[in-house]
């Protein structure tokens, strides 16, 4: 089987069987087009408006499962209809296309409230870069701390306690090294910057 070869129906080149994706419905168990041609075709489709929306919807479903959220409250068709009625989508799509499909400019869907799932009243259309930058800034400012642990400082002398969304926020507001705070929270050192620290 390893030495078996077949001709790709698209590029017409003779290739080894492992250069074709599996397909149980085919007589030889492989796709009729090679992997390179298959990926080229998909890449072209995903750069169309319908293809892009399909890819985004599939990604939303996968990320919802990964985060433990419910699946999007809309179907792929409902998302497509909603998206194509948004002027901003067409503007961003044209900018992305004119840029030669620059990754930073690809239209992206951002959840307005990052603690809720995907619904038509909880998404807005931005560029990939804007979505990425917003997520990074939200985490830095403690707005989105799902991937961070809150920390509590206790002053060694006064006993006064302060809670921070994350070690990063605590470091930013106290000028104490984030690594020192984290080491204290992990019981590797007793204090950092004149405070006891622990995870909340």
* pLDDT tens-digit map of 167-196: 877 888 888 988 899 889 888 899 999 999
Assess if residue 143 is contained within a domain: no
List the end-to-end C-alpha distance of the chain, in Å, as a whole number. Answer: 57
Question: Do residue 92 and residue 159 come from a single domain?
Answer: no
Report the pLDDT value the prediction gives residue 90, as an integer from 0 to 100. Answer: 97
Q: What's the mean pLDDT when you consider all of the chain?
A: 87
Question: Do residue 100 and residue 128 come from a single domain?
Answer: yes
Assess if residue 72 is contained within a domain: yes
Question: Do residue 89 and residue 126 come from a single domain?
Answer: yes
Is residue 164 within 8 A of residue 145, CB to CB? The reply is: no
Question: Do residue 64 and residue 132 come from a single domain?
Answer: yes
Listed residue (135, 194, 190, 136) closest to 170, CA to CA: 194
Q: pLDDT tier at 151 (50, 70, 90 boundaries)?
A: confident
What is the count of structural domains for the chain? Answer: 3
Question: Do residue 193 and residue 110 come from a single domain?
Answer: no
Q: Specify the residue for token string 């003779």.
A: 14
Q: Pick the more confident residue, 104 or 114.
A: 104
Question: Do residue 37 and residue 67 come from a single domain?
Answer: no
Residue 133 lies in domain: 46-138
Assess if residue 144 is contained within a domain: no
Assess if residue 145 is contained within a domain: no
Assess if residue 132 is contained within a domain: yes
Burial class from Cβ neighbours inside 10 Å (0-12, 13-18, 19+) for residue 96 reads: buried
Question: Do residue 127 and residue 61 come from a single domain?
Answer: yes
Question: Do residue 184 and residue 131 come from a single domain?
Answer: no
Assess if residue 146 is contained within a domain: no
Taking only the tens place, the pLDDT of each residue in 79-104 is: 999 999 999 999 999 999 999 999 89
Question: Do residue 55 and residue 115 come from a single domain?
Answer: yes
d(CA 126, CA 134): 10
Assess if residue 86 is contained within a domain: yes
Local structure of 184: helix, strand or coil: helix
Question: Do residue 159 and residue 131 come from a single domain?
Answer: no
DSSP letter at 6 equals E
Question: Do residue 126 and residue 170 come from a single domain?
Answer: no
pLDDT (average), residues 67-77 = 87
Assess if residue 19 is contained within a domain: yes
Considering the chain, what percentage of its residues have pLDDT values greater than 90? 52
Question: Do residue 156 and residue 97 come from a single domain?
Answer: no
pLDDT (average), residues 105-116 = 87
């Amino acid at each position: 089987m390893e030495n078996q070869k077949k001709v790709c129906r698209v590029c017409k080149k003779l290739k080894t069987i492992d250069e074709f994706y599996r397909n149980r419905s085919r007589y030889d168990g492989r796709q009729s087009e090679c992997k390179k041609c298959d990926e080229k075709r998909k890449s072209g489709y995903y750069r169309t408006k319908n293809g892009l929306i399909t890819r985004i919807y599939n990604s939303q479903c996968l990320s919802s499962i990964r985060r433990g959220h419910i699946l999007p409250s809309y179907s792929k068709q409902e998302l497509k209809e909603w998206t194509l009625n948004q002027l901003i989508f067409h503007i961003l799509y044209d900018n992305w296309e004119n840029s030669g499909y620059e990754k930073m400019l690809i239209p992206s869907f951002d959840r307005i409230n990052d603690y809720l799932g995907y619904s038509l009243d909880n998404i807005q259309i931005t560029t990939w870069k804007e979505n990425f930058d917003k997520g990074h800034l939200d985490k830095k400012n403690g707005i989105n701390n799902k991937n961070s642990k809150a920390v509590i400082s206790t002053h060694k002398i006064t006993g006064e306690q302060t809670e921070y969304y994350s070690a990063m926020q605590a470091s930013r507001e106290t000028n104490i090294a984030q690594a020192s705070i984290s080491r204290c929270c992990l019981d590797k050192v007793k204090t950092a910057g004149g405070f006891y620290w622990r995870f909340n």
